[in-house]
Each structure stands twice: as C-alpha cells, then as structure tokens.
C-alpha cells in the first residue's frame, strides 16, 4: 500500500520521538524558553494569551501536541489538559516531559485532528502550536468549532505562507524530504484566516518575523539577544509588510 503524506509525517515524528525516548538527556526546555531567541517572540505571545484566557478547572485540548513542548502552559494555570496527536511515540515523550506536579491534570490521546475523538462541546479552549498544517483546513476548523463549548476560545501559533523567502525555504525542505507536499500546501494563509473567521465570532491575529530570515546574516554583528531585539523591533515598523510574516498567533472566540 502506498504511504500517504499523513503516514510519512507520522512516521517521521515517531522516529524522532523514539530516539528521544531512548536518550534520557534528550529533553529540551519546555515552552517558549526552549525556542531560539530570534524566533521566540510569537511563542511568548502565544503563552501570554493562553495564560490570560485559562480559568481554573477549564478543560483544554492541545491539538497536534507532539512531544508536549507547549502542552503545560494551560495546566500551570489550573486547567485540565488533553494532548492529542497521531504519533504514539510523541505522546509517550510528552508524558515523560510532563512536570510531576501536573501529571494529574494531563491526559494523552492518540487521534487525528480531522476526526477528533471527543463529544461535541467538550472543551473550554483549544491550543495548537505548529500543528495547523497537519490536516485539511475545513475538516480541522469544523472539528474545532464542534468540540468547543459556546463562547470557547482557540489560540494557535503557526507559520504563515506569503513571504517568498520562507516559501522558497519550505519548498527546499520538501525537495530534501523534510516536508511533504500536503504540509507545505496547508500552511496557514489569508485563505485559512478567512475560513476561520467564518466559524468564529472573533479572530485576532498578531504577525511576527517578517525579517527573521536575516538572523543568520546578523550573527557576525551581534549575539542572540541583540539580534532578537533588532528583529522584533523591525516587526513594529510602520513600513513592514506584516503579510510577509514568518509566524502568526491567532486568538479566536466562538
């Protein structure tokens, strides 16, 4: 049987997580603190939004949670977290990375983001860090709005697909077998945002990293912290074409 793009991506993450599970030292820092300084700001914003929305005992779904890098932000604020992913090994790694004091507030479920294994109106909120391109847009958005309770919220950080430099780089990763055609095609764009606005009553978007591709060129001039400050400040310039962002952070309400 011919492997689908979804099979290829699942196997890729299975192998990566399995290797990490064999190495007890291969547990990088959780959350935004584990992201390199030049690309950290959208993840910081993502965490700020989640912490501001979560109420004690909320039920929150981490969609395409992977190895749990961002699964514990809401749990630290008192929510009960369900992490969902198609990769069983990634879920096992997420469980290992879970801080001991949060074990009682976390649950891990193997499943497909296009067909969520949950009842309607199950969750108060949904978070997603980098997973929106792993399912077809319409089924995923329909499932999100189905499992959220009335007035529920959705916060995501992901790539954006209008900067020609980043599009070329993603195509090159596809040529080298590091991405599949489907994942590249489904990276969020203006069309994805339009579809989201058709399902949520409010959708707010922050744009980051228009000039993040300059980071390697700046390494001879400054250290990571200063490079990050430069790149973050350029994002706020009035002349910066925000539609060319590297990352977006989405804050939506039903």
* Token representation of residue 149: 């309770």
pLDDT of residue 253: 97
Q: Which run of H or E residues covers position 15?
A: helix 5-22
Counted residue by residue, the chain has a size of 254
What's the pTM? 0.94
Is the pLDDT at 27 greater than 80, yes or no? no
Q: Cα(160)–Cα(163) distance, rounded to whole angstroms? A: 8
* pLDDT tens digit sequence for 48-81: 999 999 999 999 999 999 999 999 999 999 999 9
Strand order in the sheet with 80-85: 106-110, 80-85, 59-63, 123-129, 148-159, 247-253, 202-208
- Give the mean pLDDT of 25-29: 70
Place of tokens 């189905």: 146
* pLDDT tens digit sequence for 159-202: 999 999 999 999 999 999 889 999 999 999 999 999 999 999 99
Is the pLDDT at 153 greater than 90, yes or no? yes
Is the pLDDT at 207 greater than 90, yes or no? yes
* Token representation of residue 54: 């979560």
Q: Counting Cβ atoms within 10 Å, is residue 191 exposed (0-12), middle (13-18) or buried (19+)?
A: exposed
Q: Cα(194)–Cα(211) distance, rounded to whole angstroms? A: 25
* Token representation of residue 91: 């879920």
């Amino acid at each position: 049987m011919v492997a689908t793009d979804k099979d290829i991506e699942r196997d890729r993450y299975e192998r990566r997580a399995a290797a990490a599970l064999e190495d007890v030292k291969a547990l990088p820092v959780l959350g935004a603190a584990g992201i390199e300084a030049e690309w950290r700001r959208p993840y910081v914003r993502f965490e700020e939004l989640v912490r501001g929305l979560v109420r004690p005992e909320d039920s929150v779904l981490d969609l395409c949670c992977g190895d749990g890098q961002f699964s514990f932000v809401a749990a630290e604020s008192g929510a009960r977290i369900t992490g969902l992913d198609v990769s069983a090994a990634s879920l096992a790694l997420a469980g290992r990375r879970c801080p001991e004091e949060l074990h009682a507030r976390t649950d891990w479920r193997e499943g497909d983001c296009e067909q969520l294994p949950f009842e309607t109106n199950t969750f108060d909120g949904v978070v997603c860090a980098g997973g929106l391109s792993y399912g077809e847009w319409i089924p995923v958005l329909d499932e999100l709005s189905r499992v959220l309770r009335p007035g529920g919220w959705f916060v995501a950080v992901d790539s954006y697909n209008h900067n020609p430099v980043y599009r070329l780089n993603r195509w090159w990763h596809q040529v080298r077998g590091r991405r599949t055609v489907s994942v590249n095609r489904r990276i969020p764009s203006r069309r994805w945002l339009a579809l989201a606005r058709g399902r949520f009553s409010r959708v707010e978007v922050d744009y980051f990293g228009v000039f993040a591709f300059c980071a390697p060129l700046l390494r001879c001039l400054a250290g990571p912290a200063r490079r990050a400050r430069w790149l973050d400040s350029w994002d706020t310039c009035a002349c910066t074409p925000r539609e060319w962002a590297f990352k977006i952070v989405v804050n939506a309400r039903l």
